Amino acid sequence: MSSSTASEASGPTTSVEYIQHHLHNNSIGEGGFWVLNLDTLIYSWLLAGVLMYIAYTMGKKMTSDTPSGGQNVLEAIVEFVQQQIKDIFPGSNPLIGPLALTIFMWVFLMNAMDLIPVDLLPQLGHLVGIEYMKVVPTTDLSTTFALALSVFALIIYYNIKIKGPIGYIKMFLFHPFGKYLIPVNILMTAIEEIAKPISLGLRLFGNMFAGELIFMLIALLGATSLYGLAPQIALGTVWAIFHILVISLQAFIFMLLTIVYLGMAHQEIEEH
Amino acid sequence: MSITATLIGQMITFAILVWFIGKYLWGPMTQMMDDRKKRIADGLAAAERGIHEQELAEQKATQHIKEAKEQAAEILSQAQKRGVEIVEDAKDDAKAEGERLITAANAEIEQEVNRAKETLREQVVEITIAAASKIVKKEIDAKAHGELLKDVVGQI
């Protein structure tokens, strides 16, 4: 994708170019790691701003006795998250609640950008001279891994805090098979731990990226021939409805696994 | 399609967002919901207590009513007894009064009879004198025969 040239920026023509164009981030930087994807950042900031606004206004005006519609919705979400934490998480931690709630709502909103017609915002951007735009922040590995690595950092932090540094090392040494297979244990536990953030980040990214790609392919149906218009509308509707499930489910799974992983970090080490 | 420095920006955003939501939404809302849970529980307990107290009060009220009825019955029976007594007393008084009146009347009658006898006696004397004077054709001197007449009157 980094091979895209200036000629492509003047407007996509073939299907391949169309898709490549759509998958190109609007970024600044030298290339390699030190690149900022402006579209990802701006859309996720906008959604974070929406969440902050809702959280702030609702937190200020909520009442105990006569909750209004918006407050009821938020209360239902908060209670839902609270219930999940109560079911899964051992003990209590003041961070886990806000963390899980934030992941659920923010990831859901970022995923929900997928439901906006694929060409709408990029086309509007094109009109004001913005050539590249990816509107779904969770189709960017940087976003999903930012969340996954934050969770991973918390997993390591709480492992060390609860089990102690020695306990944490002992978990690596003796964990699955006892003390006679220490090299195997180290390998197994390391894989197990590293798999957590990677699976978290890749699962969300994969689902959203694939969903976005299919939206593009459906959009291409009508673009390539006039006969494709009816299938485009039909398939687009079906996929969008199905995608409502996918975006909620992925937000929920990300939140749930975060709680599960942090819950595991909070468990005292078992002797083998 | 690779991990870029955007990651760092997103991590910072994520951290700020978690802090913000924890401070302004999660904290106050869970606090409020806990308070509400507690208030509802308290309210239900108070309602339970109220029902219990009402039952006690009803029991007390029935007992009071029962006592009041008993007292009323006692007062009524006393009053009846007293009434009977009063009637009896009145009867006795009336009898005594009647007897007294009868005695008084009898005495008066006797007095009247005596007075009538006296008057009659005097009139008989006068008639007797008149009759005697006609018989003897001679004026009887009232002065001369007064003693004799008094004697006659006394004998009547």
Residues of chain B neighbouring A94 (CB-CB closer than 8 A): 22
Mean of pLDDT values over A79-107: 89
d(CA B15, CA A153): 12
Closest approach of A146 to chain B, Cα-based (Å): 5
Residue B27 at interface with chain A, using a CB cutoff of 8 Å: yes
* Confidence (pLDDT) at B80: 95
> How many separate domains does chain B show?
1
Residue B38 contacts A where some CB pair is shorter than 8 Å: no
- The verdict on residue B146 lying in a domain is no
Q: What is the pLDDT of residue A271?
A: 55
- pLDDT band (50, 70, 90) for residue B94: very high
Cβ contacts (< 8 Å) between A104 and chain B: which residues? none
A139, A216 Cβ separation under 8 angstroms:
no
Model pLDDT for residues A20-71, shown as the tens digit of each residue: 777 777 777 777 777 778 888 888 899 999 999 998 888 888 887 777 888 8
Q: What is the distance between the alpha carbons of residues B149 and B133, in angstroms, rounded to a whole number?
A: 13
Interface contact flag, B4 A29, Cβ < 8 Å:
yes
How much is the pLDDT for A2?
A: 35
What is the chain A residue with the closest CA to B11? A146
B133 lies in a domain? Answer: no
Chain A residue numbers with beta carbons less than 8 Å from the beta carbon of B16 are 48
Pairing state between β A27-31 and A34-37:
antiparallel
Contact (CB<8Å) A98/B18: yes
Q: What is the ipTM of this complex?
A: 0.83
Q: Is residue B86 part of a domain?
A: yes
User: Which chain A residues are Cβ-neighbours of B25 within 8 angstroms?
Assistant: 54-56, 58-59, 74, 78, 98, 101
Q: Which of A150, A255, A258 to mutate to test binding with chain B, by most B CBs within 10 Å of its CB?
A: A150
Residue B39 lies in a domain: yes
Does a structural domain hold residue B82? yes
Q: Burial of A134 by CB count in 10 Å (0-12 exposed, 13-18 middle, 19+ buried)?
A: buried
Handedness of CA A167, A169, A173, A175 (dihedral sign): positive
Distance from CA of B44 to the nearest CA of A (A): 16
What's the mean per-residue pLDDT of chain A? 83
- pLDDT for res A4: 34
Rounded mean pLDDT of A131-154? 87
Confidence of residue B105 (pLDDT cuts 50, 70, 90): very high
Q: CA angle A41-A195-A114, nearest 5°?
A: 35
- Confidence at A194, pLDDT banded by 50, 70, 90: very high
pLDDT at residue B144, as a whole number: 67
Q: How far are the Cα atoms of A65, B51, B106 from residue B40, in angstroms, in the given order? A: 11, 17, 97
Contact check, Cβ <8 Å, B35/A146:
no
Render pLDDT for A232-245 as a digit per residue (tens, 0 to 9): 888 888 999 999 99
Band of residue A9 on the pLDDT scale cut at 50, 70, 90: very low
A105 pLDDT above the threshold of 70: yes
* DSSP bridge pairs for A31: A34
Q: What is the pLDDT of residues B35-80, one digit of tens each?
A: 989 999 999 999 999 999 999 999 999 999 999 999 999 999 999 9
In this prediction, residues A12-27 reach a mean pLDDT of 74
CB A26 within 8 A of CB A85: no
Q: DSSP assignment, residue B145?
A: T
A150·B22 Cβ contact <8 A: no
Q: Would residue A32 be called left, alpha or beta, if left means φ above 0 and alpha means ψ between -120 and 50 degrees? A: left
- Write down the mean pLDDT value for chain B: 88
Q: Show the tokens assigned to A128.
A: 């004001």
A140 and B7 in contact (C-beta within 8 Å)?
Answer: no
Which of A72-76, B86-90, B148-152: highest mean pLDDT?
Answer: B86-90
pLDDT tens digits for range A115-140: 888 778 887 887 887 777 788 888 88
DSSP string, chain A: -TT--HHHHT---SHHHHHHHHT---EEEEETTEEEEHHHHHHHHHHHHHHHHHHHHHHHH--SSS--HHHHHHHHHHHHHHHHHHHH--S--TTHHHHHHHHHHHHHHHHHGGGS-TTHHHHHHHHTT-------GGGSHHHHHHHHHHHHHHHHHHHHHHHHHHHHHHHHHHTTT-GGGHHHHHHHHHHHHHHHHHHHHHHHHHHHHHHHHHHHHHHHHHHH-GGGHHHHHHHHHHHHHHHHHHHHHHHHHHHHHHHHHHHHHTSPPPP-
User: Tens of pLDDT along A220-235?
Assistant: 887 777 777 888 888 8
In a domain, B37, yes or no: yes
Whether pLDDT at A266 is above 90? no
Yes or no, beta carbons of B4 and A145 under 8 Å apart = no
Q: Which residue of A has its CA nearest to B19?
A: A98
What is the reported pLDDT for B135? Answer: 75
- Cβ neighbours of B28 in A, within 8 Å: 59, 62
With CB atoms and an 8 Å threshold, state whether A78 touches B26. yes
> What is the model's pTM?
0.72
Give the structural domain span for B69. 6-115
pLDDT-based confidence at B140, cuts 50/70/90?
low
Alpha helices in B1-156 (DSSP H): 6-21, 27-136, 146-155
DSSP string, A36-59: EEHHHHHHHHHHHHHHHHHHHHHH
Whether residue A7 has pLDDT greater than 70: no
| Radius of gyration from C-alpha coordinates of chain B | 61
Say which residues have a Cβ less than 8 Å from residue A119's Cβ, sequence separation at least 6: A219
Measured in whole angstroms, how far is the alpha carbon of residue B79 from the centre of its chain? 9
Residue B85 has pLDDT above 70, yes or no: yes
Least CB-CB distance to B10: which of A64, A105, A142? A142
Average pLDDT over residues B8-27: 89
Query: At a CB cut-off of 8 Å and minimum separation 6, what does A177 contact?
Result: A184, A185, A188, A272
- The reply to whether residue A34 touches residue B17, judged by beta carbons under 8 angstroms, is no
Unique residue bearing structure tokens 């606004």: A53
Q: Return the pLDDT at A11.
A: 47
- pLDDT band of residue B137 (cuts 50, 70, 90) is low
Backbone phi, then psi, for A30, in 5-degree steps? Answer: -80, -15
